[in-house]
Structure 1
Amino acid sequence: MKLAYLVNQYPKASHSFIRREILALESLGHSVSRFALRSDAADVVDAQDIAERERTRYILSGGPGQFARSLFACVRSAPLATLRAFIDACRIGWGSERGVLLHLAYFLEAAVLVQWCREAEVEHVHAHFGTNSTTIAMLARTMGGCAYSFTVHGPEEFDKAQFIALPEKIRQSSFTVAITSFCRSQLYRLVEHTHWDKIKIVHCGLDEDFLRATPLREAANDEEQVPVLTCVGRLCEQKGQLLLIDAVRELVSAGHQFRLVLAGDGPMRPEIERAIAEYQLQDVVAITGWISSAQVKTCIEQSKALVLPSFAEGLPVVLMEAMALGKPVLTTYIAGIPELVEEGRSGWLVPAGSRERLRQALEAVLAAPDEQCSQMGEVGRSRVLADHDAQREAQTLASYLEAYK
């Protein structure tokens, strides 16, 4: 089957699961064209992502001439359908947070998508995230393009479901993918019961680099055997790193010795660095900046546990990666996380936003003997192997693509 993937920004360090899904579909014999609106070269450091960037066509790179030619082609081949798409763009834009003008831009981008899909003989478009990429896929379908499906991750889509016309996108899609049971339940709330059957669960998956890895039974600590904790994620409000720094300060004041690695980068880095300096934690907390998947894997392997005190999530792939590597995790019981992490068996779950409970859980992690951590790691690894194999999840997605084409 000839498919096209449409993503707002691709490749991206935090979107490795999309790359894995595409490559898994190709290994099953499907042809996948990569389309995206833009790429941020500064955010691409992984060799596999660099290779994906070379395979991707960018809608915004063609300039006004490309939009004009594509729109003219759509008007010539399907004038009424193009008019309907224009009206839909105005209607959706009028009730959205981004306004009519931006949705008219989506309308022009949809015209480009229609032409590219025709050139590549694409049979079906799959988008990731229910935001602007899916808006473009929906308008392209109305304009005479091929059918579409899309994957919803949350939490952003749920926060503004009506403003991004998420219910309409579900209704017009061939099918809609939710990454967890919790995610599916939130989509059930948005549409009539008659559309529930088209909402399917396909988990984000890991590739063989993680699934076939041999877990290290002991973390490779420094000469003083100081335990290392790692937090992997974009440095932003929803990941909770500032709360983590507050909890770390309390632990250090109480005499605990350990190191914390913040693997990632993002808009809150200056604020986090100021907090580290203010609390005099420069010898305790290190920020790596953006690093490759291989470097993330090494960071996790050298850690006693992964810590992710998120305030809002869908289901973080880094939790799966840590568990696949046989590491226990400390995170919050929000959204789909409790579907993956079992309290006391594969990790520690705390209320989001509770510094006291986070501090207590960090103390429990630091006090946990190696044998307990290994046992928790084995439980977590078994769960990931069962539910988050990229190849197996791609087979599930492919079955829906075939059924609904």
Structure 2
Amino acid sequence: MRISYFINQYPKVSHSFIRREILALERQGFEVQRIALRGWDAELVDAEDESERNKTSYVLQGGAKGLIAPLLQVLRAQPRRFFSTLWLALRMGLRADRPWPYHLVYLAEACQVLQWLQAFGAGHVHAHFGTNSTEVVMLANALGGPAYSFTVHGPEEFDKPLLIKLREKVRRAAFVAAVSSYGRSQLFRWVAHGHWAKVKVVHCGLERVFHDVPAVAAPSAPRLVCVGRLCEQKGQLLLLEAARILAAQGVEFELVLAGDGEMRAEIEALIARYELRARVRITGWISSAQVREEILAARALVLPSFAEGLPVVIMEAMALRRPVLTTYVAGIPELVRQGENGWLFPAGAVDELATAMADCLAQPADVLQRMGEAAYQRVLERHDIDTEAAKLASFFRALA
């Protein structure tokens, strides 16, 4: 079966889970076409992402002028269907997070995507994220393209379900994948009961090559690592507040912020203000292999997120036998268990975060090893990429 994947930006440093999913589906016997809006000129640090970029077709690479010819061709070939879809695009722009001209652009993008889907012979198209990427494949379907499905990650979809017309996207979809039971529950909030059966739980997964490595003992150095985009929802500013508390208490620690993002300058300014430069290091964007090395060089992963779906980096740390310190928001408590494989604390609670960090740093090696082994077993049970891709494969084949 030939299927297509459509993503807003691909490949991307923070989208390695999509790459793993595509490659796992190819191991299941599918031919997978990659289509993305952008990403042809993005800075990449992984050789695997470089390979994926060579396999991807980019809708916007030719600029806005490149969309005119596909739009006119679809209009001439099937004018009634085109104008019906135009009306749908205009409705999607009413009381939306973006004004209606954006939705006309999505229609033009859908015309180009439709032609590529038809040329490939796609039997189905799957999108990641329930925002504009899903709207484009929905419009392509309305123009006569194949059935579509999409994966909802959160938290963006749950922050503005009415503005992105999530209900309409689910109603027209063949099925919808949520990455956690929590995510499924949020979709149940916004769609009619008659569509609940469409909503499936398909976890993001890890390749076995990632976790099939010899166990590495936690270091004696009092080091913690936070991996993720430097942005408001990941809570790095709160993490620095907690680090300031630990420093004032005389607790020895090192903190690595692995990643980059729009808040880097603000975070660097706070590090300087709190006199934490000797204790806190920012890596910038790093490859998957470097992320693994940073996790293995730390006693635990700390992720004080304010909003999430279910972070892949938590799975990665647990697969490397590292406990996790994180908030009990969204799907996180489905994976992390307090006292067994990590520490859970309320989002936004700086004192509880500081206490969890101090407790982790004070634990003897045998306790960290026990918690790491429990983390490893837990993540293998729930997040093997071939197991999760097999779920998707069964849904795709049922549609065929």
Scaled to the shorter chain, the TM-score interval is over 0.9
For 1:359, the equivalent position in structure 2 comes to 354
**Aligned residue number for residue 27 of structure 1:** 27
Q: How many residues align?
A: 400
Change (3 A) 1:40 1:31: closer
DSSP 3-state at the match of 2:93: helix
Is the Cα contact below 8 Å between 1:93 and 1:100 reproduced in 2? yes
SS at match of 2:339: coil
Cα deviation for residue 73 of structure 1 reads 2.3
Q: Which amino acid aligns with 1:280?
A: E
| Residue aligning to 1:199 | 199
Any idea what the Cα deviations from partners look like across 1:349-374, whole Å, max 9, x if unmatched? Answer: 00000001001101110111111111
**Over residues 289-330 of structure 1, what are the superposed CA-to-partner deviations in whole Å (9 max), with x where a residue is unaligned?**
000000000000111000000000000000000000000000
Distance 2:275 2:63 in 1: 49
Is the CA contact 1:34–1:57 (under 8 Å) kept in the aligned structure 2? yes
Letter of the structure 1 residue corresponding to residue 107 of structure 2? F
Residue type of the alignment partner of 1:227: P
RMSD between aligned residues: 1.1
Is the Cα–Cα contact under 8 Å of residues 40 and 53 in structure 2 kept in the other structure?
Answer: no
Tell me, yes or no, if structure 1 residue 252 matches structure 2 residue 247.
Answer: yes
In structure 2, the residue matched to 1:389 is: 384
* In 1: Cα distance, 2:43 partner to 2:235 partner: 21
1:7 aligned partner = 7
- For the residue of structure 2 that corresponds to 1:364, the secondary structure is helix
Measure, in 2, the Cα distance between the counterparts of 1:248 and 1:336.
26
Counterparts of residues 142-221 of structure 1 (less than 5 Å): 142-219=142-219
Instruction: Give yes or no for the alignment of 1:294 onto 2:253.
Output: no
For 1:84-131, what per-residue CA distance to the aligned partner results, in whole angstroms no more than 9, with x for missing partners?
Answer: 110011111122110110000000000001001011111111000000
Bigger Cα displacement from structure 2, 295-304 vs 47-56: 47-56
Q: 1:264 aligns with which of 236, 259, 265?
A: 259
CA distance in 2, matches of 1:245, 1:42: 29
For 1:269 and 1:40, the matched residues in 2 are separated by 24
Contact 1:12 1:40 in 2 (8 A): no
Q: How does 1:80-99 map to 2 (within 5 A)?
A: 80-99=80-99
CA distance in 2, matches of 1:330, 1:261: 14
Matched residue SS, 1:86: helix
Q: 2:333 matched to which residue of 1?
A: 338
8 Å Cα contact 2:60-2:66 kept in structure 1: no
1:230 aligned partner:
225
Stretch moving more, 126-135 or 370-379? 370-379
Deviation at 1:40, TM superposition (A): 6.6
Q: Which amino acid aligns with 2:345?
A: V
* Residue 137 of structure 1 pairs with residue 137 of structure 2: yes
The AA in structure 2 aligned to 1:274 is: A
Tell me if structure 2 keeps the 8 A contact 1:20–1:207: yes
Is 2:277 the counterpart of 1:282? Answer: yes
More displaced stretch, 34-43 vs 76-85? 34-43
TM-score (norm 1): 0.97
Kindly indicate whether the alpha-carbon contact (under 8 Å) linking 1:175 and 1:404 is maintained by their aligned counterparts in 2: no
Distance 1:341 1:394 in 2: 22
Structure 2 gap segments, 5+ residues each: none
Match of 2:367?
372
Other-structure match for 2:117: 117
Q: 1:38-77 CA distances to partner (integer Å, 9 max, x unpaired)? A: 0174542111111111111110012344322211221233
Provide the C-alpha distance between the structure 2 equivalents of 1:321 and 1:67, rounded to a whole number of angstroms: 39
Residue in 1 that maps onto 2:66? 66
User: Residues 43 and 160 of structure 1: is their aligned pair in 2 closer, same or farther, counting only changes over 3 Å?
Assistant: farther
- Kept in 2, the 8 Å contact 1:4–1:35? The answer is yes
CA distance, structure 1, for counterparts of residue 183 and residue 376 of structure 2: 23
Amino acid at match of 1:379: A
Q: Give 1:222's aligned residue.
A: none
Query: Is the contact made by 1:174 and 1:198 (CA closer than 8 Å) also made in structure 2?
Result: yes
Alignment of 1:319-338 (within 5 A): 319-338=314-333
The percentage of counterpart residues that share the same residue type is: 54
Letter in 1 for 2:365: D
In structure 2, the residue corresponding to 1:130 is in which secondary structure?
Answer: coil
41-50 or 260-269, which deviates more: 41-50
Q: What amino acid does structure 2 have at the position aligned with 1:363?
A: A
Q: What secondary structure does 2:313 align onto?
A: helix
Secondary structure, aligned partner of 1:353: coil
Distance 2:316 2:302 in 1: 12
Read off the aligned partner of 1:91 and give its amino acid letter: R
CA distance in 1, matches of 2:372, 2:119: 48
Match of 2:311 in 1: 316
What are structure 1's unaligned runs of at least 5 residues? Answer: 220-224
Q: Deviations over 1:7-44 (max 9, x none)?
A: 10111111110000000001111011110000174542
- Paired residue type of 1:241: Q
Q: 8 Å contact 1:261–1:288 — kept in the other structure?
A: yes
Which amino acid in the other structure matches residue 16 of structure 1? S
Cα distance in 1 for residues equivalent to 2:244 and 2:66: 54
Q: Is the 8 A contact 2:40 2:61 kept in 1?
A: no
